[in-house]
A and B are shown apart, each in its own frame.
Chain A
Amino acid sequence: GIQVEQSPPDLILQEGANSTLRCNFSDSVNNLQWFHQNPWGQLINLFYIPSGTKQNGRLSATTVATERYSLLYISSSQTTDSGVYFCAVDTGFQKLVFGTGTRLLVSP
């Protein structure tokens, strides 16, 4: 099956810093989503981005489907950005395969 790897696995930032999270996938995908999992386990939808670039406030994402990767940019990080970030891909059967996750800690 498809492999979805995220890097880095762990990231510690000072409040106000910028960061880039990466998601590599091993096969063609129909769509890709980015999620933020908060400390209570809730998955928050960030982006639905099978290709191209999208921005939402301090967050933006870019997916280059032909090269099988996606990037999530976080600018001016805040403590509330802490949590685990997952990318997940759909290979055509609507079910999502999740990446390995990036655990982010933003300190004040």
Chain B
Amino acid sequence: GAVVSQHPSRVICKSGTSVKIECRSLDFQATTMFWYRQFPKQSLMLMATSNEGSKATYEQGVEKDKFLINHASLTLSTLTVTSAHPEDSSFYICSARDAAQNTEAFFGQGTRLTVV
């Protein structure tokens, strides 16, 4: 299957600082990538759709100024959590599909963010 790489896998930051998470499709091109958030013992919730070369589309209730998304190339999307607070602590995971095949979605390893 296709490989999606996400970094870092784990990060601890202080309140008020910003954290950048990278999501790369290693062996295919992805015009669209997706960012999800998962709280402990809960399901995954879609935060936003990252579109290559254009603005991201955010789900209802997700603050676009807090969660900045950039999709500068067909293989890289980044999520920046700005001015992080302890309530932003969560598991963030990205996904992508091969634009040429448009079949199943593959997921990165996820990033566990802890804001102290």
Contacts and interface: CB of A to CB of B under 8 A. Distances in A.
Bound together: yes
Interface string B79-104: 00000000000010101010000111
Interface residues of A, number: 21
A33 B46 contact: no
Contacts of A98: 36, 43-45
Report the interface size class on chain B.
20 to 34
B95 A96 contact: yes
B40 to A, nearest CB: 11
Interface in A31-65: 31, 33, 35, 40-43, 45, 48
A41 B42 CA distance: 12
A50 to B, nearest CB: 10
B28 interface: no
B104 A97 contact: no
